[in-house]
């Protein structure tokens, strides 16, 4: 967990901004969103398969567009 050490003279706005930057840099929020909902292994395979199919379709479309 990111930590911010403050002195008596430090402003709260500065500390909050610094803390938010450290949290974002460490990837905590990204990990939290990823873990928010459990995905069964069968669903994960299905999602991965559909993503691969979209990538193949996109590559084919791009190839057709460049070759006429």
Under DSSP, is residue 2 helix (H, G, I), strand (E, B) or coil? coil
Q: What is the pLDDT of residue 25?
A: 92
Q: What is the pLDDT of residue 67?
A: 78
Between CA 45 and CA 3 the distance in angstroms is 38
Q: Are 12 and 20 in contact (CB under 8 A)?
A: no
pTM of the predicted model, to two decimals? Answer: 0.47
Strand segments, DSSP code E, in the chain are none
Q: What is the pLDDT of residue 68?
A: 64
Token duo for residue 28: 């905590």
Per-position pLDDT tens, the chain of length 68: 788 888 888 898 999 999 999 999 999 988 888 889 888 999 999 999 999 999 999 999 999 988 76
Structural domain boundaries in the chain: 12-67
């Amino acid at each position: 967990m990111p930590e911010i050490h403050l002195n008596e003279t430090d402003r709260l706005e500065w500390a909050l901004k610094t803390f938010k930057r450290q949290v974002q840099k460490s990837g905590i929020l990204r990990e939290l969103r990823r873990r928010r909902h459990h995905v069964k292994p069968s669903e994960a395979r299905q999602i991965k398969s559909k993503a691969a199919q979209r990538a193949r379709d996109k590559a084919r479309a791009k190839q057709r567009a460049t070759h006429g």
